[in-house]
Chains A and B, each alone.
Chain A
Amino acid sequence: MKVPIKLTVNGRSHESEVEARTLLVHYLRDDLGLTGTKIGCDTSQCGACVVRMNGSTVKSCTCLAVQADGAEVTTIEGLAQDGNLHPVQEAFWDNHGLQCGYCTAGMIMTVAELLERNPNPSAEEVRAGLEGNICRCTGYHNIVKAALAAAEAISSGAGGG
Chain B
Amino acid sequence: MYTPDFHYHKAGSVAEAIEMLGHHEDSRLLAGGHSLLPLMRLRLARPATLIDIGGLDELRGIRVHEGHIHIGALTTHGEIARSHDVQHANPLVAEVAGGIGDPQVRNRGTIGGNLAHADPASDWGTIITVMDGSVEVQGPSGSRTIAIGDFFQGAFATAVADDEIVTGIRVPTLVRQGHGHGHDHGHGHDHGAESINGEVGEYAKMSHPASFYPVIGGAVVINAEGGRCVSARVAVGGLVPTPRRAPSVEAALAGQELTAGNLEAAANQLANDLGDEIIGDIFASADYRRAIAPVEVKHAMLHAIGLAHH
Q: Is there contact, CB below 8 Å, between B210 and A45? A: yes
A155 at the interface (CB under 8 A from B): no
Q: Is there contact, CB below 8 Å, between B33 and A67? A: yes
Known: A21-B2, A67-B33. A45 touches B211 (CB 8 A): yes
B156 at the interface (CB under 8 A from A): no
- Give the interface residue-count category, chain B: 20 to 34
Q: Is there contact, CB below 8 Å, between B105 and A44? A: yes
Q: Which residues on B are within 8 Å of A, measured CB to CB?
A: 1-8, 10, 30, 33-34, 37-38, 41, 50, 52, 54-55, 78, 101-105, 107-108, 210-212
A122 at the interface (CB under 8 A from B): no
Residues of A with C-beta under 8 A to B30: 64, 67
Task: Encode contact with B along A32-69: 1 for CB under 8 Å, 0 otherwise.
Answer: 00000000001111010010000011110011101101
Q: Is there contact, CB below 8 Å, between A64 and B37? A: yes
Quick one: which of B8, B55, B102 has the most chain A CB within 10 A? B102
Residues of B with C-beta under 8 A to A104: none
Tell me, in angstroms, the Cα distance from A75 to B3 when the chains sit together: 23
- Residue of A58, A67, A110 touching B52 (CB-CB under 8 A): A67
Tell me, in angstroms, the Cα distance from A62 to B105 when the chains sit together: 9
Residues of B with C-beta under 8 A to A63: 33, 37, 108
Residues of A with C-beta under 8 A to B210: 45, 134
Q: Is there contact, CB below 8 Å, between B6 and A58? A: no
Task: Encode contact with B along A3-31: 1 for CB under 8 Å, 0 otherwise.
Answer: 10000000000000001111100100000
Q: Is there contact, CB below 8 Å, between B212 and A131? A: yes
Q: Is there contact, CB below 8 Å, between B108 and A1? A: no
Q: Which residue of B lies closest to A113 (CB)?
A: B103
| A127 vs chain B, min Cβ distance (A) | 12
Q: Which residue of B lies closest to A23 (CB)?
A: B2
Q: Which residue of B lies closest to A60 (CB)?
A: B104
Residues of A with C-beta under 8 A to B3: 21
Q: Which residues on A are within 8 Å of B, measured CB to CB?
A: 1, 3, 19-23, 26, 42-45, 47, 50, 56-59, 62-64, 66-67, 69-70, 110, 113-114, 129, 131-134
Residues of B with C-beta under 8 A to A56: 78, 107-108
Quick one: which of B3, B50, B103 has the most chain A CB within 10 A? B103
Tell me, in angstroms, the Cα distance from A19 to B34 when the chains sit together: 19
Q: Is there contact, CB below 8 Å, between B8 and A132? A: no
Residues of A with C-beta under 8 A to B34: 44, 62
Q: Is there contact, CB below 8 Å, between B103 and A114? A: yes
Q: Is there contact, CB below 8 Å, between B105 and A66? A: no
Residues of B with C-beta under 8 A to A26: 2
Tell me, in angstroms, the Cα distance from A50 to B104 when the chains sit together: 8
| B100 vs chain A, min Cβ distance (A) | 11
Residues of A with C-beta under 8 A to B41: 42-43
Residues of B with C-beta under 8 A to A1: 5-8
Tell me, in angstroms, the Cα distance from A22 to B1 when the chains sit together: 10
Tell me, in angstroms, the Cα distance from A107 to B267 when the chains sit together: 41
Residues of B with C-beta under 8 A to A69: 10
- 30 residue pairs of the A-B complex, CB under 8 angstroms, read A1-B5, A1-B6, A1-B8, A19-B5, A20-B5, A20-B7, A20-B50, A21-B5, A21-B6, A22-B2, A43-B41, A44-B34, A44-B105, A44-B211, A57-B104, A58-B107, A59-B108, A62-B108, A63-B37, A64-B37, A67-B33, A69-B10, A70-B55, A110-B104, A114-B103, A131-B103, A131-B212, A132-B103, A132-B104, A133-B102
